[in-house]
Amino acid sequence: MKKVLTLALLALLATGANAKPKKAASNKPVFTVVKENPITSIKDQNRSGTCWAYSTLSYFEAEILKKTGKTYDLCESFVANKDYMDRAVQVVRLHGDCQFAQGGSAYDVFYVLKNYGICPEDQMPFPGSLYGDSLNNFNEFFGQLEPYVNGIARSKENKISGQWKVGLQGILDAYLGKCPEKFTYEGKEYTPKTFAASLGLDMNDYVSITSYSHKPYYSQYAVEVQDNWRNPLSWNLPMEDMARVIENAVMNGYTVAWGGDVSEPGFTRNGLAYFVDTKKAESLSGSDMARWLKLSPTKRTSIIDSLGCKVPELVPTPEQRQQRFDNWELTDDHGMLIFGIAKDQHGKEYYMVKNSWGETGAYKGIWYMTKNYIVANTMDYMVNKNAIPADILKKMEEAKKNQGIGD
């Protein structure tokens, strides 16, 4: 999810300076909550490409809250420490023919929880504190880490020793902190694995869902994006079914760990996202196509902000999603948590989405993203299989039997 660093920085900038105040004020959405599921507090990934860790741990925190009523703050640094070592091993095994980067997927967090466990946030150094910062800043960290891994992976030696892992672990521990082997939490001693086991999660409950037409529907495959380096399988559903699962999950008290594209012009830094029909937006803003294309991204965002809830939207289609995926327009940018539904004063419905850029924007870290935007820009998402509509779940189970797929 490479663009997230740039987007997180842009989130700190004001984007409505060129909009007409009266028009912007009159078009500002007024939201009424339709359904809002409990979530934990807003976090700030700051200058790190760890949205995947923040959003998915936030998802599991919400799952725990739903199941047990208990609130936890799970440790992103633990996940990053374990995951970056695993990814480095993969890159070295493939002699560098696999990207080593900050990004990741929801499955990476799932894998770490299942195989290594987890610890509370306060059992490792606070993000950034080891190098004199108050939040994560991976500039120096990855400036050291990435060349180290790539140097080993592309070594000209006929044989390498395993000592490179010792050096790598030293870098990880220096910037993220050492993962505890044991710790005491609320008066009880745990290991990361026993703590994970105490949280009430059933790791067999979770599935990943996507929707693209280049693979058969109701089959499983590994979505072809660089940060999907563990090659986990996602269920490929028709677009309408993919959308129904999200809706059904939220309305039945579940959250969704969403991965998708936030680089589109309709995703504003002020907490809104629309799947903009740019041709109609040009007309409404008094701009023609030639002028619109020459506008800076900031100016286009200002125009979209000024249109507010009157932004004209496209309706997503499977063909459109596939074309945008194949031509690199639809990319794997960011991970967020879908937790609610709201509607504006005109009745249009939006998903309420928790971000990991701190309490920024008009809604203090929450984004209101139209259903069209979410459906159009979903790469994949993780959801509890108990949140899936019965008819869709039945088709998935039948497909597993017919295709000889195990759990």
Residue ranges per domain, the chain?
A: 1-62+203-407, 73-198
The pLDDT tens digits for 341-386 are 999 999 999 999 999 999 999 999 999 999 999 999 999 999 999 9
Q: Would you state the structure tokens that stand for residue 370, as one six-digit string?
A: 């139209």
Query: Is residue 146's pLDDT more than 80?
Result: yes
Residue type, 344: D
Percent of the chain with pLDDT over 90: 81
> Residue 182: CB partners within 8 Å, gap ≥ 6?
189, 190, 191
* Single pTM value for the model: 0.91
- Kindly report which listed range (11-25, 66-80, 282-296, 318-332) carries the lowest average pLDDT score: 11-25
Report d(CA 69, CA 72) in Å as an integer: 10
The pLDDT tens digits for 48-73 are 999 999 999 999 999 999 999 999 99
Q: What is the mean pLDDT of residues 311-334?
A: 96
- Name the residue with tokens 């195990």: 406
Cβ 235 vs Cβ 403: under 8 Å: no
Report d(CA 223, CA 231) in Å as an integer: 7
Q: What is the mean pLDDT of the chain?
A: 91
- Residue 308: pLDDT band (50, 70, 90) is confident
Percent of the chain with pLDDT over 70: 89
- Model pLDDT, residue 3: 47
- Model pLDDT, residue 363: 96
- Pick from 226, 52, 242: which is nearest to 234 by CA? 242
- Kindly report which listed range (33-42, 145-154, 264-273) carries the lowest average pLDDT score: 264-273
CATH number for 1-62+203-407: choose from 3.90.70.10, 3.30.499.10, 3.60.20.10, 3.30.450.20: 3.90.70.10
- Name the residue with tokens 């004209």: 312
- Model pLDDT, residue 138: 96
Give the helix/strand (H/E) hosting 164.
helix 163-176
- Model pLDDT, residue 284: 59
The upper half-sphere exposure of residue 362, i.e. CA atoms within 13 Å in the direction of its Cβ, equals 17
> Residue 268: CB partners within 8 Å, gap ≥ 6?
15, 301, 304, 305
The pLDDT tens digits for 273-283 are 999 987 777 66
- Residue 6: pLDDT band (50, 70, 90) is very low
Q: What is the mean pLDDT of residues 123-135?
A: 95
The pLDDT tens digits for 249-273 are 999 999 999 999 999 889 988 899 9
Query: Is residue 47's pLDDT more than 50?
Result: yes
Q: Would you state the structure tokens that stand for residue 360, as one six-digit string?
A: 């920024």
Report d(CA 340, CA 284) in Å as an integer: 30
Cβ 310 vs Cβ 316: under 8 Å: no
Can you name the residues that pair with 354 across neighbouring β-strands? Answer: 337, 366
Query: Is residue 225's pLDDT more than 50?
Result: yes
How many DSSP H helices and E strands does the chain contain?
A: 15, 12
- Pick from 84, 73, 138: which is nearest to 116 by CA? 84
If one looks up domain 73-198 in CATH, what number appears? Answer: 3.90.70.10
The pLDDT tens digits for 179-203 are 999 999 999 999 999 999 999 999 9
